[in-house]
Amino acid sequence: MRLLPTSLRSRLAVLFALGSAALLLVFTFALYHVLDRQLLSAVDRGLKNRAADLAVVASETGGLIPDRDPFAQTLTLDGRVRDQAPETTEHIPVLTRSQLAAVGNGRYFEGDVRELGGHAQLLATPIQMRGARMVLVVGSSIDGYDRARERLEVVLIVASPLLVGLLAGAGWLLAGAALRPVRRMTEEADEIAVNELGRRLPVPDSNDEIEHLARTINDMLGRIERAVANERMFIDDASHELRTPISILRGELELALARPEDSAEVTASLQSALDETIRLGRLAEDLLALARVRSGELQIRPTSVDLCAASERVAHSIGHDAPAITVAGEGSAWADPDRVDQILTNLLVNARRHAEARVQVRVEADGSTTVLEVADDGAGFPASMLPVTFDRFVRADPARGRDTGGAGLGLSIVAALARAQGASIEAGNGPPLGGAVVRVRFPAAKGRDGERAVATPGAASSVARRGLARHH
């Protein structure tokens, strides 16, 4: 069972009331104790002053009590009454022998004295009269003190619950006022639909935790909006990338079927269809790899890879058409062979697409790293695209033509796969061929032949979050 209500406002009010009740209890106890001591101390001071005056008079008169005193007795140590105030009719000592023995240098006692109307405070003080030791007892009624204490108890018992109730009500109102902006933010957030991610919560100008909460939630909504927009753009652009080879493949097959008697035409159409099928397969592999990187499920199995041999093999697999591809240098990387082939395929296909006559691959060992450099003699990256070269589907040409404005996923996949293997990547323009240059810096394989490793999902996820793709 819940001991507190579910509403935050109610819980705050209850906690405020409980805290107030605890403080009020402590304050009430302290107040009662202080007032009680003050009232009784006033009676004690009066008795002490009377006792001092009477001691002087009794010493001079042999223990006799003045007529004007309301109640006083002089007692011998054996309990006999030597003298008492005229108002006292009975010669009965107000103190017992045990009390007399406990007087010492002076002591207060409580007792019932009929002449004082009942409950009384007594002060016993030792005095010397003509060489004999006696005890002077003065008394004062404390019925007034008792009545004052009772009234104080009644006031505190009645007023305390009322005060706690008032404080609880004040806490309820204050909590409601403090949480009102939160309620408005909750209502606004509840109305935000998926297609209204541009809406934001109202931010109170209070410079407190509520304002900070509203700004934090708005920042989160902004990140969600950007993420959803990126996903929508990914779907749109992936559909665009897939539509082009599928359309070409369909057209070539229809052309081959329309002219079955023309073997040369059929052969050309089938070859074109095969090329588009290969391109479509590479695109599907790229999308799958990117999806695995984003989900943290991309498996990396590094080993020693000869980058020159891998470059020659990939260059051969993508054909000997112009522009020509040359491979130079030497060096081995600590990487996943399959992912290296995928990186090289994307780099070489992209470089060929934009080169005029030459594509150059150079491998160079540089201490603890091995650098793979792919350069072309084309126009290079537009200056505006260099900061976002590795973002997905960012193109220099808004028309997004297949051969006019970028590589869609090419460099995005390269960056994702490189970083997942602990490599770094950079893009720029200039030497050695004057066009675009992409450099991938792999960990060197030297001294690591016996190692085996698998990239963790967390590492792959961190790569995916950087946002990756080719644009040129």
Residues of the chain with CATH 1.10.287.130: 192-295
Confidence of residue 67 (pLDDT cuts 50, 70, 90): low
- Backbone phi, psi, residue 27, to 5°: -65, -40
Give the bridge partners for 124, in sequence order: 107, 137
454 pLDDT higher than 80 = no
Judged on CB neighbours under 10 Å (0-12, 13-18, 19+), 194 is exposed
Residues of the chain with CATH 3.30.565.10: 298-464
Question: Which numeric CATH code is attached to 8-147?
Answer: 3.30.450.20
The vertex-319 CA angle with 318 and 322, nearest 5°, equals 115
- 187-241 confidence digits (pLDDT tens): 878 877 766 778 888 887 777 788 888 888 889 888 888 878 777 777 776 777 7
Question: Which numeric CATH code is attached to 298-464?
Answer: 3.30.565.10
- 148-193 confidence digits (pLDDT tens): 778 888 888 888 888 888 888 888 888 888 778 888 888 878 877 7
For 422-441, give one letter per residue: b (16+ CB within 10 A) or e. bbebebebeeebbbbbbbbb
What is the token pair recorded at 316? 């051969």
- Rounded to whole angstroms, how far apart are CA atoms 314 and 349? 10
With respect to CATH, is domain 192-295 assigned 1.10.10.10?
Answer: no
Confidence of residue 409 (pLDDT cuts 50, 70, 90): low
Residues of the chain with CATH 3.30.450.20: 8-147
CA 140 to chain centroid, in Å, comes to: 68
Which pLDDT score is estimated for 172? 82
Structural contact between residues 293 and 460, judged by C-beta atoms closer than 8 angstroms: yes
Greater confidence (235 vs 411) lies with: 411
Which pLDDT score is estimated for 357? 92
- Rounded to whole angstroms, how far apart are CA atoms 163 and 27? 12
Q: Containing H/E element for 204? A: none
Q: Which of 219-223, 335-339, 386-390, 424-428 has the lowest mean pLDDT?
A: 386-390
